[in-house]
Amino acid sequence: MEASPASRPGHLMDPQVFTSNFNNGIRWHKTYLCYEVERLDNGTWVKMDQHRGFLHNQLDPAQTYRVTWFISWSPCFSWGCAEQVRAFLQENTHVRLRLFAARIYDYDPLYKEALQMLRGAGAQVSIMTYHEFKHCWDTFVDHQGRPFQPWDGLEEHSQALSGRLQAILQNQGN
């Protein structure tokens, strides 16, 4: 997985790459992760445009941050990866993590446990809906002014995947 800054037009994702890898109705084997950071300022989350695409500085522990990940496929959340994220969240209590996945890999009990571990560490784990897909398109894709065009079945797949994820997070998916 390559990280690149999304704040400059030359480093945005190709529209075809986004559509093929984030389409929640097909099985694709590549994982893409887009993210952005917000800082809590007087009760309001303020986007930090310089922290989008990749992180390169420490986050000030005197501030509260919300990091949002948009991930095309959840296999990278193996037990070891989830353990590192859990440890990071425990050491950095000023950081809150939201994770939106286009698809989940729920065929392996270890991946289910990893998702449960992330949730137990305080991460908000959800399935992407039209709103998140459109946000990713608008924020991370070099769409050249073209509006986001949802694919057939986007909402139905999101609802079905959300049900499967909720079963996993409630420890019913094993």
- DSSP letter (8 states) at residue 172: -
Examine residue 69 and state whether it is found in any structural domain, yes or no: yes
What does the alpha-carbon distance between residue 174 and residue 171 come to, in Å, rounded to a whole number? 7
Please check whether residue 103 is in contact with residue 75, taking contact to mean a CB–CB distance below 8 angstroms.
Answer: no
Domain extent for 155:
33-50+62-169
| pTM for the whole structure | 0.83
Q: How many domains would you assign to the chain?
A: 1
Examine residue 21 and state whether it is found in any structural domain, yes or no: no
Tell me the CATH number at 99: 3.40.140.10
Examine residue 20 and state whether it is found in any structural domain, yes or no: no
Please check whether residue 31 is in contact with residue 1, taking contact to mean a CB–CB distance below 8 angstroms.
Answer: yes
Examine residue 18 and state whether it is found in any structural domain, yes or no: no
pLDDT of residue 6: 46
Residue 5, CA distances (Å) to 35, 97, 141, 159 in order: 10, 19, 12, 31
DSSP SS3 for 45: strand
Instruction: Per residue of the chain (174 residues), give pLDDT as tens.
Output: 344 444 444 578 999 989 988 998 877 667 888 889 999 999 999 988 766 665 555 688 899 999 999 998 875 556 678 888 899 999 999 999 999 999 987 777 888 888 888 999 999 999 999 999 999 999 999 999 999 999 999 999 999 999 999 999 998 545
Examine residue 16 and state whether it is found in any structural domain, yes or no: no
Examine residue 9 and state whether it is found in any structural domain, yes or no: no
In sequence order, the β-bridge partners of residue 96 are 66
Examine residue 79 and state whether it is found in any structural domain, yes or no: yes
Examine residue 11 and state whether it is found in any structural domain, yes or no: no
